[in-house]
Structure 1
Amino acid sequence: MAGRGRAWSIGALGLGLLLPLAGCGGHPTADPARAEVQQVLDRRSAALLGHDEGAYGATGTRTEYTRLRALPLASWSYRVTALHRTASGATADADLRYRVAGYDRAPVDTRRTLTLGRTADGHWYVTADRPAGKAGQQLWDQGTVTAVRGAHSLVLGTGGSAARLKPYARLADRAVPAVSGVWGTGWSRRVVVLVPRSLAGMAALLGSPAASYRGIAAVTTGEAGGPAQAPADRVVVNPEAYAVLGDLGRQVVLTHETTHVATRASTTAATPLWLSEGYADWTGYLGTGRTPPEAAPELARAVRDGEPPDALPGDEDFGFTSEPTKLARAYESGWLACRMIADRWGEARLGAFYRAVGAHGKRAGAVEEALKKVLGTTPEEFTARWRAYVTTQLG
């Protein structure tokens, strides 16, 4: 067969290429430079953690040291995964793992590409350290990091003074206890907020086009359904969209995003976006006094026009590239669904329902089973009740 013949040809070619590289024991000869570069990066990491600028400078450029000075680090290390020789030196592919002291239970892991030079007597040194291809930037890639500590928050920014960041810390410090008040205290109860200079800076941190986040005030990074030791989530702010919000809107945004941090371990592939986003909005609006027509203007307009929704929104309706009105209605629909659960069954049942859906493990049947066990209803009954609730609240 063609497939078997192709496999034989590749195997024979591979054997021919490996023979000149094999030593007496039949193993490829390792490039000693890789170990030497690893040692340089180890010394560089130790100098950064030890706040020894002189030792750091002895390993190469001091740019990162200056930019990272304000970041409270508990750990920082590189692992070289590949070394590529060049005419002037080498480039190294490396995994960078680091923890922010007091916030990260496990290291953040990101891929980096380092450019290296070599002295006349053969010593390696770092000339540049940048994100690997397709990896998002880290905040220090955009400039010197400024840090502001709150009671429950750490706000990190670039392109400004601490005074610019203090309002974020005040709002985040209000958000954390507000979220704990409804979700419980079984989470870190701390939040890290990243404030880049611009929308473009936000997009670079997330490794996505800026157009994807235009008009989005903030997003939360982090792996849904991660274990308890997973790295802390980051709330990444779009300063351009955030700036046009009023005080209430800014508080709602940071409380919404903090809710995602708190619920991350219970948010799995089984959790539909109408529930995760709706619960975050429900928490964000709780106690603000906002009425349903005020908090759900697009859905209210649809009801007034005689076009109430037929079904709960699907995950595809929450894409940031969706038409703005459709996206707004999706969020508003999820919020009203969670608000209805809290009104009809109680706030504790809403939290229990969220956890039950996430604990199911598989997407198929998760909501149906949780509706039956926690709320004593069916998807059909729930949807009909929700549609009536939307009309009553917004009509």
Structure 2
Amino acid sequence: MAGRGRVSKSSVTVVCLLLASLTACGGPSAADTAKAEVQRVLDRRAAAVLHHDVAAYAATGARDLYTRLRAVPLTDWSYRLKSLRRSGDTAVAQAEMRYRVTGYDKAPVTAGRTLTLSTGVDGKWYVDSDRPVKKSAEQLWDQGTVSVVRGRRSLVLGVGHGDAVLRGYAGLADRAIPAVSDAWGTDWSRQVVLLVPKSLEGMAGLLGSPASNYRGIAAVTTGETGGAGRAPADRIIVNPAAYGMLGSLGKQVVLTHETTHVATRAHTNAATPLWLSEGYADWVGYRGTGRPPDQVAPELRRAVTDGGVPAALPSDEDFGFAGDPFRLARAYESGWMACRMIADQWGERRLDDFYRSVGAHGTREGAVEDALRKVLGTTLDGFTEQWRAYLVRQLG
């Protein structure tokens, strides 16, 4: 009977190990606790942005980001913590930021962010900085305080420009939208967001690319391919240095061109060659201006008159911004002439149908050939020869 009250040493060890295991599984680790605390800080920070609560934002740490973006109309703003690297009372967090501009974005824009944090005397976490992930694109508010001007169907966000300058952009965008709808139709949002950074370097920062890639480029549209109608609103990003050198007609043509990319996004994908997407955007941009081919396509005219009629439609590689600027100009002009020829010889409706048919193919191989056969009743070889003859007639 006495043996019933005895417990062996090995039994005690097993019980202790079991209890330790249960304790470890049942309670959060220090790392998990820190992650949860940082996520709560980021949630409070996001809520303060949406509710325009500067005091609540300041209570989470540095307030400079809020000051720079406070004028931007936002429907959503959130952070999802992906990783946290802690070192004592400091930490570096990698997070995904998601936001939507009110009335313009159909789905959230996402961006990787690196945040540094530290603990205060109260032991709580505070955000010290919030920056783009290394080697990724900046947001406009990373570059300075954002000013906002609303057009009738446009929203212009700028850094380093007065309201009068931004209103000028809004006016051009508001004129571009009905011009695009008249050519393409109204099955698109019929509104645009323009970003006007302070400089070429600011434009490059927004695109996450070297400034040398965009020198001389007046504007670009982000996300113009593969949208399927579910992507956030495109952003037309302006290079103020190059754009400012254009005359009034050139400025309007550029914004109408870029707005065309916004309108055609849902029908532009990997199947669409750049000669078609860029050529069509130029065709809409110059439509109704009365400018003849020799004025719109001076580099191509020079090649044709020198006996250098292109043997084939331009390849996607011909449209590289970082390459030969004369080759780039000829590529744009060649695409414009191809679309102009379709409109002239088959009609504007057929041009639209051809564009949509190419995009509907889904993949590049055979897309243009199938659309040429179905919509225009010709072959790629036949179309190319017609285009070459058209260049000689119009530019020779």
Interval of TM-score (by shorter of Structure 1 and Structure 2) = over 0.9
**Does residue 94 of structure 1 match 2:95?**
yes
Q: RMSD between aligned alpha carbons?
A: 1.7
Deviation at 1:152, TM superposition (A): 1.2
Deviation at 1:160, TM superposition (A): 2.2
Give the AA of the match of 1:299. Answer: L
**Does residue 246 of structure 1 match 2:247?**
yes
Q: Deviations over 1:167-223 (max 9, x none)?
A: 110000000111011111111111000000000000011000000000000000015
Counterpart of 1:43 in structure 2 is 44
Please say which structure displays the higher CA radius of gyration: 2
Cα distance in 1 for partners of 2:81, 2:187 equals 36
Superposition map of 1:1-395 within 5 A: 25=25, 29=29, 31-222=32-223, 224-395=225-396
Cα distance in 1 for partners of 2:224, 2:316 equals 17
The structure 1 segments of at least 4 consecutive aligned residues displaced by more than 4 Å after TM superposition are 20-30
Deviation at 1:86, TM superposition (A): 2.6
Cα distance in 2 for partners of 1:278, 1:176 equals 18
Aligned 8 A contact 2:234 2:262 in 1: yes
Cα distance in 2 for partners of 1:255, 1:120 equals 55
Higher mean alpha-carbon deviation, 383-392 vs 304-313, is at 304-313
Aligned 8 A contact 1:220 1:257 in 2: yes
Give the AA of the match of 1:352. Answer: D
Cα distance in 2 for partners of 1:170, 1:45 equals 33
Aligned 8 A contact 2:137 2:206 in 1: yes
Secondary structure (helix, strand or coil) at the match of 1:31 reads helix
Cα distance in 2 for partners of 1:108, 1:174 equals 26
Distance change >3 Å, CA 394–CA 40, structure 1 → 2: same
Give the structure-2-normalised TM-score: 0.92
Deviation at 1:229, TM superposition (A): 2.6
Deviation at 1:380, TM superposition (A): 0.7
Aligned 8 A contact 1:309 1:387 in 2: yes
Aligned 8 A contact 1:349 1:375 in 2: yes
Give the structure-1-normalised TM-score: 0.93
Q: In the comparison of the two structures, how many residue pairs are matched?
A: 376
Cα distance in 2 for partners of 1:48, 1:283 equals 39
Counterpart of 1:11 in structure 2 is none
Identity %: 67
Distance change >3 Å, CA 188–CA 23, structure 1 → 2: farther
Aligned 8 A contact 1:21 1:28 in 2: no
Secondary structure (helix, strand or coil) at the match of 2:323 reads coil
Deviation at 1:21, TM superposition (A): 11
Gaps of 5+ in 1: 1-19
Cα distance in 1 for partners of 2:21, 2:295 equals 71
Cα distance in 2 for partners of 1:223, 1:45 equals 29
Gaps of 5+ in 2: 1-19
Cα distance in 1 for partners of 2:209, 2:79 equals 25
Q: Deviations over 1:67-122 (max 9, x none)?
A: 11110001100000000113441111000000000100100000001111111221
Deviation at 1:25, TM superposition (A): 4.8
